[in-house]
Amino acid sequence: MALNLDIQKALRSGTQEFRLDASFSAEGRSIVLFGPSGSGKTLTLRALAGHLSPDAGRMELDGRTLFDAAHGVNLPARERGVGLVFQDYALFPHLSVARNVGFGLGAGLFGRLDAAARRRVAELLDLGGLTELASARPDRLSGGQRQRVALLRALASRPRALLLDEPFSALDPLLRARMRREVRAMCQALGTPTLLITHDPDDVAEFGGTVVLYDQGRVRRVEAFADGPEGGIGARDLVLGERFAVYA
Amino acid sequence: MQSLLPELLIPALVPLGLTLKVALTATLGAFLAGVGAGWALSRRGLPGREVLDALCTLPLVLPPTVIGYYLLVLFGRRGVLGQWLQQTFGVSLIFTWQGAALAASVVAFPLVCKAARTAFEGVDQNLEHAARSLGAGELRVFLAVSLPLAWRGVLGGTMLALARAMGEFGATLMIAGSLPGRTQTLSLAVYEAVQAGRDSEAAFLVLLVSLLCVTLLLASGRFLKTSCPA
């Protein structure tokens, strides 16, 4: 994944105003956006996914322009080819596990699945150990199972990149450590590069790669490490040594 | 009493059938327009959203006779839409059951629209975003995610709209009149019977309308409960 990003966005809620002015280039199988809550990481991810339009700037993924304010380019979310795992998973509560996983493979208005798509869903469910829960609704699942469904749903249509928005913050600590390894292993197995958003140094240690440090709506620093736990330890030391304004 | 019942029931069958026909047609119209408008009003980017919302609520607060007057102006022989209908299709809505259905539909529309807006606004936006990122177009997002998740509220509004359409009186009288056998629905028949001093007929019709409404309320309550476990 090669990402070129330079965007500005002003948000106002009540009397508070937040300004995002983020600019960085990063390349590799793993990119981690690290920073305190409210530093603009999630805003950046939503802009990348196409759920929010920046006021100005441009974004480019693997040489493809996703957004360019100067030239009036703004690809709709459905054409950006990026997978997304939300912080609260955003599983469709009215659809079964299998229908959730297969949602992106469905064709036409009613999302009909052809034989190849059904095979792919079965394969993915098997990969996530969810075969027996295929017809269950998401509210019957445990936290870890929900996360797997969200991950498989995003990976099913073979996205160019997977965007993960603090995916482990809702899990309890023991499960968190396990899911971290599992999620990274699964993305690696399927060959999908990841862009992870987090404020947890342990996530940085697991994913490694290029670390982009956010602080108060701006990118403060970009450092490249080896992907995965090999580079992750150094990356964690970097983020732990950083002094963020909100923690002063 | 035994000989009185068929004597009262048989003349009531015609307005009863007409009421059901008018009310169901009106509810279908109010449902389609109300779901569309309610969805549009639930979109945050819609310009002039609150003004449009107020316009959609207007039929709820205007006296039905005023709505009837507007409909006459629009659909009457000299109205813009009335002339167009007459010239293109050779039809007129005045003094027809379709006219009565139009009137009831307009009056019932805000009930669906309001309920649908609230229900669509209650759908987690991230679910709609998730669907878009999975490649779904806006129509599929609507059909596969927004509508099923808003269904309960939409259905509740539609049930109220049906009840409102069955009881419609003022606007219907203005545009369709009260022609027995053609446009005289139950609520109009009650009025006629009272005016003409046919007291036992009036009492019977009132009983019939009340039963119909109670049944409808019970059925909708039961349906809403069983359609949505959890």
Mind listing the pLDDT tens digit for each residue in B127-157? 999 999 999 999 999 999 999 999 989 998 9
Q: Is A153 an interface residue toward B (CB < 8 Å)?
A: yes
Mean pLDDT of chain B: 89
Identify whether A164 is part of a domain. Answer: no
Q: Is A86 an interface residue toward B (CB < 8 Å)?
A: yes
CATH architecture designation of domain B11-227: Orthogonal Bundle (1.10)
Residue B229 has pLDDT above 90, yes or no: no
Kindly report the number of other CB atoms within 10 A of residue A16's CB atom. Answer: 7
Tell me the residue range of the domain where A147 lies: 96-156
Identify whether A184 is part of a domain. Answer: no
> Which of A94, A160, A166 is the best residue to mutate to test the B interface, defined by the most B CB atoms within 10 Å of its own CB?
A94
Residue A8 has pLDDT above 80, yes or no: yes
Contact B186, B17 (CB under 8 A): no
Identify whether A246 is part of a domain. Answer: no
Domain count, chain A: 1
Mind listing the pLDDT tens digit for each residue in B145-196? 999 999 989 998 998 899 899 989 999 999 998 888 889 999 999 999 999 9
Q: Is the ipTM of this complex over 0.85?
A: yes
Look at residue B225 in the predicted model and tell me its pLDDT.
60
Identify whether A101 is part of a domain. Answer: yes
Rounded Cα gap, residues A192 and A25, in angstroms: 19
Query: Among candidates A10, A200, A192, which has minimal Cα distance to A87?
Result: A200
Per 3-state DSSP, chain A is made up of helix, strand and coil in percentages (nearest 5) of 40, 30, 30
Identify whether A47 is part of a domain. Answer: no
* Choice between B217 and B58, residue whose per-residue pLDDT is larger: B58
Identify whether A136 is part of a domain. Answer: yes
Domain positions in chain B are 11-227
- Residue with structure tokens 């039905």? B64
Identify whether A14 is part of a domain. Answer: no
Look at residue B7 in the predicted model and tell me its pLDDT.
78
Give the chain B residue nearest A76 (alpha carbons).
B132
Structure tokens at B160: 């109220």
> Phi and psi of B145, rounded to 5°?
-120, -60
Look at residue B228 in the predicted model and tell me its pLDDT.
47
Using CB atoms, pick whichever of B126, B143, B148 lies closest to residue A86: B126
How far is CA A106 from each of CA A90, A111, B224, rounded to the nearest angstrom?
A: 18, 4, 29
